[in-house]
Amino acid sequence: MNFGNRTPTIVVLKEGTDASQGRGQIISNINACIAIQETLKPTLGPLGSDILIVTSNQKTTISNDGATILKLLDVVHPAAKTLVDISRAQDAEVGDGTTSVTILAGELMKEAKPFLEEGISPHLIQKGYRTAVRLAVDKVNELAVNVSSGTQESTREMLERCAKTAMSSKLIYNNSVFFVKMVVDAVLSLDRNDLDDKLIGIKKVAGGSMEDSMFVDGVAFKKTFSYAGFEQQPKKFTNPKILSLNVELELKAEKDNAEVRVENVADYQAIVDAEWQIILNKLNQVEETGANIVLSKLPIGDLATQYFADRNIFCAGRVAAGDMDRVIKAVGGAIQSTTTDIKAEYLGSCDLFEEMQIGSERYNTFRGCPQTKTCTLLLRGGAEQVIAEVERSLHDAIMIVKRALQNKIVVAGGGAIEMEISKYLRDYSKTIAGKQQLIINAFAKALEVIPRQLCENAGFDAIEILNKLRLAHSKGEKWFGVDFETESIADNFAKFVWEPALVKINELTSATEATNLILSVDETITNKESAGPAAGMMPPQGGRGRGMPMQ
């Protein structure tokens, strides 16, 4: 067939593939991200609401933590997933600011939308945003205050203020005096060189009030599975020797279909005696080490439990690997994989070991450990959802305190730093010409979403308070932000509403990167999963497809 000058249509993509492109596609992606932003907006700040999420398996979660909400929302829009990713990254990197980073990214996209509709190239907007975020980060570094004076008391005071600010928007805010001390004690108990927050054990025990929660300056874990004889063992020791094993101390059952042929009864008795002798030798070797407490990752059976009970030795088998690692970090010693040749230096020690009742559970606690590089928080609460939210709140506060201890530079919270950067970028935009002036001004306007949303969630008049803040910052009051106590504005630095500068820097850079990523995508190709064979592979009517059986 002669097509003349016409080029035949060539189909490259699978039938049913959805390909959307152009400016409309960018705006569509922005709208999806704004929908995510609208979901999270009410949760921002000390007076933000909580969201109740019910998953497909009917598990309920009540939270106002941005990363937790987005993780449970099951977002399917490919562009909106970018906001989920930056929220998770913020949570992993600095622990707090997960809601702020999502709201800021959504607002930057919202500000970019009118420019796109007027025909401005997305690349120009990206360039303007990159310039603005560079200036903003430099300004944060310039404004940040180093509050390390070297003394232990002042460092602790600074950490407590940062922890209290992190808790201001959480469920535990009303109990913040109690929890702030717990969080700071927990972080200060870690090794200062690496500050590994995974060594802070968190155990949840239902029942009681939140202030029944306990801080253990060592290790606590739930009583493990126990055999007969366990109750006869002593449950409290002072200065005990602790042996950690990875050895099974019980009579092993024969494997299925195992066969032993014996000629007479004496031979059978010899096999039974040998089996008992093996485990008794192990138990004798453990006793000879002088250990008062024997822990093992593997089971400690009923024979061994009774043996230890008769000799006033405490034992616990099937200790979880994470708990065992933290015990070793706290009490010293090393895990032994055999009971032979155990030297004194392989044993750990602590000031006090006690098995105690907490709520409906029994817990083994090791306190006053010589090498304490770990601690345990035992959380209490009336309902499982409450305890889970307390745990999330404490995680954010622990991460904030950890970052503040590593980088002792802080800025004022409550929208103060955002208003100051906004004012700085507006002033800068007046010094340049062209479209970049408008774009940098739009970035400055987007930053005001944080103080505005704080006011709206608290029920304040956002327009009036924002006008007061703009006036204060134009007069050089760089730390003025929203004051929830007076429903007005105040110097938040003087009121000790402090946040690590790292949180704000990470927030600004992540939000801008996400926005630029969305602006750079102007085509989406969605491959539909075909229900049957691909188009063009269907067998002809009345015939057989490849591999079909003969009739």
162-173: average pLDDT: 83
What stretches of 168-293 show up as alpha helix (H) in DSSP? 176-188, 265-288
- 77 pLDDT higher than 90: no
233 or 369, greater pLDDT: 233
Q: Which CATH class is domain 163-219+377-410?
A: alpha beta
Kindly indicate the confidence band of residue 16, based on its pLDDT and cuts at 50, 70 and 90.
Answer: low
* Full-model pTM: 0.77
Q: Which residues contact 531 (CB under 8 A, 6 or more apart)?
A: none
Kindly indicate the confidence band of residue 19, based on its pLDDT and cuts at 50, 70 and 90.
Answer: low
The verdict on domain 221-256+263-352 having CATH code 2.60.40.1260 is: no
The verdict on domain 17-146+412-527 having CATH code 2.170.190.11 is: no
406-430: average pLDDT: 91
Kindly indicate the confidence band of residue 528, based on its pLDDT and cuts at 50, 70 and 90.
Answer: low
The pLDDT value recorded for residue 4 is 54
Kindly indicate the confidence band of residue 537, based on its pLDDT and cuts at 50, 70 and 90.
Answer: very low
pLDDT tens digits for range 465-487: 999 999 999 999 999 999 888 88
pLDDT tens digits for range 319-344: 988 888 888 888 888 888 888 888 88
The pLDDT value recorded for residue 538 is 41
The pLDDT value recorded for residue 15 is 57
Query: Distance between CA atoms of 127 and 439, rounded to whole angstroms?
Result: 9
- 543 pLDDT higher than 60: no
- 511 pLDDT higher than 90: yes
Kindly indicate the confidence band of residue 541, based on its pLDDT and cuts at 50, 70 and 90.
Answer: very low
What DSSP string describes 311-379? TT-EEE-S--HHHHHHHHHHH----BS-SSS--GGG-EE-SEEEEEEETTEEEEEEES-TT---EEEEE
HSE-up (13 A, CA, CB side) for residue 328:
18
The pLDDT value recorded for residue 370 is 77
Active-site residues, by number, are 65, 98-99, 396
Cα dihedral sign for 405, 408, 412, 415?
A: negative
Q: Where are the domains of the chain?
A: 17-146+412-527, 163-219+377-410, 221-256+263-352
